[in-house]
Structure 1
Amino acid sequence: MNKQFLSVRSLASKSPESPGKQKICRNCDKQATKEALFDVGNGISVLERYCESCLGVMLKDIGSIA
């Protein structure tokens, strides 16, 4: 899948729809604190959740500045 990075935002610690449900980083299974939005083409966007450490690595890998 070819994806283009669009933006990053802070993840709310508790969602009103699912209180107590923890969001997990897609790389390391720690608690996610950020959400990254990617465009994958054909009008489709993907939202991925990351912890601070993994977000920094991902942004460095794609050449973006956090």
Structure 2
Amino acid sequence: MGQLSRELRQLTRRYRVSTLLERLGISQLRDTAHTQLKSLRKAKNMKRKARDRTKKTLAFTTNP
């Protein structure tokens, strides 16, 4: 996840200094990296929430 964030920041910097023609390609790369980062964050959050939900369920069943 950190690598994707770094890549997205680098692409943003390159986008600012690039020409109009290069911006088209860089914007597509940025969109792809952003989509991957979003899906990775979502998966990570879902996994964390499932783990927390399991902990709460276990705590309730051991001591209702």
TM-score scaled by length of structure 2: 0.29
In our comparison, the structure showing a higher alpha carbon Rg is 2
Relative contact order, higher structure (CA 8 A, sep 6+): 2
TM-score scaled by length of structure 1: 0.29
Q: Which is strand-richer, 1 or 2?
A: 1
